[in-house]
């Protein structure tokens, strides 16, 4: 009660959370200096967080990830609020991760809004996690409470598994330019430019054969002449039929080359 402004967006971030993160971060990094450290502001920072630097200072920004949520309501506009998160990440020079969103409470629109959120994350190359996997009242699936992923008997809800098992790039061997997925058709597109600072020349893509490509898929890679010469190659994982790798030969693919991958369902 001594400082009611702490209930206002950005204020609690600056005066409560940032000092705490600055204290904890060096202790964590002393044990594991390479691990990505997630940090989050209050959940009603709709127009930007109040942090002035990454936890522990700017030197650790490339190993820091801004965590944020989106629900509507209480959030009100996906484009405005994701733009605010993008500005936060650029200003702080950190990564970002949508660590909570879900099926929203409105008649007939919940899965539509969830799809819009995931598509927006694709366009911004943002990772996401869906809330929630299991209900809280117990330690096993089907224990009561609410879960949008499982029936009460513990079996997966097929429609939700279909909606969440999107095709996406798990790793990109360059600088991402665009990524999109059409839930209705299974069409996926990814474009990126070869970047010499990315030392592992492998782009890894997840594509669910069960939910989106049960009859197979057609893969198109551009530039076609680099595919024909073997400088670009596409391979399926030996251990997981849903994991694919698009590799390039750094000696044959010039820095700055734009690589485009397209997948369509058969």
CATH code of the domain in which 46 resides: 3.20.20.80
In a domain, 203, yes or no: yes
Q: Are residues 92 and 39 in the same domain?
A: yes
Q: Are residues 120 and 184 in the same domain?
A: no
Q: Are residues 178 and 95 in the same domain?
A: no
Phi, psi of 248 (to 5 degrees): -130, 150
Q: Are residues 116 and 174 in the same domain?
A: no
Q: Are residues 110 and 173 in the same domain?
A: no
Q: Are residues 45 and 96 in the same domain?
A: yes
Burial of 16 (0-12, 13-18, 19+ CB in 10 A): middle
Beta-carbon contacts of residue 124 (< 8 Å; ≥ 6 apart): 82, 86, 96
> Domain of 184?
169-265
What per-residue confidence (pLDDT) applies to 212? 97
In a domain, 160, yes or no: no
- Among 81, 113, 131, the domain boundary falls at 131
> Does residue 257 register a pLDDT over 90?
yes
Other residues' Cβ atoms within 10 Å of the Cβ of residue 94: 25
Percent of the chain with pLDDT over 90: 69
Between these two residues, 138 and 57, which has the higher pLDDT value?
Answer: 57
| Number of DSSP helices (H) and strands (E) in the chain, helices first | 6, 12
Burial of 56 (0-12, 13-18, 19+ CB in 10 A): buried
In a domain, 195, yes or no: yes
What per-residue confidence (pLDDT) applies to 263? 98
Q: Are residues 127 and 187 in the same domain?
A: no
In a domain, 235, yes or no: yes
pLDDT tens string 143-196: 455 556 777 777 888 888 898 999 999 999 999 999 999 999 999 999 999 999
For 10-29, what is the mean pLDDT?
94
What per-residue confidence (pLDDT) applies to 2? 77
| Alpha-carbon gap, residue 211 to 162, rounded angstroms | 6
- Among 131, 151, 185, the domain boundary falls at 131
Q: Are residues 104 and 202 in the same domain?
A: no
What per-residue confidence (pLDDT) applies to 39? 96
The radius of gyration computed from the CA coordinates of the chain, to the nearest angstrom, equals 21
Q: Are residues 124 and 27 in the same domain?
A: yes
Instruction: Report the chain's mean pLDDT, rounded to a whole number.
Output: 89
pLDDT tens string 56-94: 999 999 999 999 999 887 888 899 999 999 999 999 999
Q: Are residues 212 and 97 in the same domain?
A: no
What per-residue confidence (pLDDT) applies to 102? 78
Whether residue 74 has a cis bond before it, omega within 30° of 0 = yes
Number of structural domains the chain divides into = 2
Q: Are residues 65 and 175 in the same domain?
A: no
pLDDT band, residue 246 (cuts 50/70/90) = very high
pLDDT tens string 219-242: 999 999 999 999 999 999 999 999
In a domain, 145, yes or no: no
Q: Are residues 124 and 222 in the same domain?
A: no
For 257-263, what is the mean pLDDT?
98
Between the alpha carbon of residue 105 and those of residues 111, 157, 178, 205, the distances in Å are: 10, 18, 30, 32
Residue 204's CATH number:
2.60.40.1180
Q: Is 65 helix (H, G, I), strand (E, B) or coil?
A: strand
In a domain, 158, yes or no: no
């Amino acid at each position: 009660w001594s400082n009611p402004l702490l209930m206002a967006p950005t204020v609690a971030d600056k005066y409560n959370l940032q000092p705490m993160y600055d204290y904890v971060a060096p202790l964590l990094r002393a044990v594991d200096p390479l691990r990505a450290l997630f940090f989050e502001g209050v959940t009603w920072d709709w127009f930007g967080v109040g942090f002035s630097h990454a936890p522990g200072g700017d030197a650790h920004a490339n190993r820091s990830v801004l965590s944020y949520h989106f629900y509507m309501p209480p959030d009100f506009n996906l484009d405005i609020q994701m733009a605010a998160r993008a500005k936060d990440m650029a200003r702080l020079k950190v990564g970002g991760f949508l660590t909570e969103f879900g099926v929203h409470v409105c008649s007939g629109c919940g899965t539509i809004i969830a799809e819009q959120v995931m598509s927006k994350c694709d366009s911004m190359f943002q990772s996401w996690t869906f809330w929630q996997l299991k209900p809280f009242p117990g330690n096993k699936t089907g224990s009561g409470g609410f879960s949008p992923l499982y029936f009460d008997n513990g079996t997966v809800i097929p429609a939700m598994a279909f909606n969440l098992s999107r095709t996406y790039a798990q790793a990109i061997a360059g600088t991402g330019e665009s990524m999109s997925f059409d839930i209705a058709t299974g069409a996926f597109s990814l474009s990126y430019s070869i970047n010499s600072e990315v030392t592992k020349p492998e782009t890894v893509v997840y594509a669910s054969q069960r939910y989106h490509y049960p009859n197979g898929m057609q893969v198109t890679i551009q530039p076609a002449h680099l595919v024909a010469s073997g400088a670009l190659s596409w391979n399926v994982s030996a251990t997981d039929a849903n994991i694919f790798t698009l590799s390039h030969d750094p000696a044959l693919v010039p820095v700055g080359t734009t690589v485009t991958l397209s997948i369509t369902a058969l």
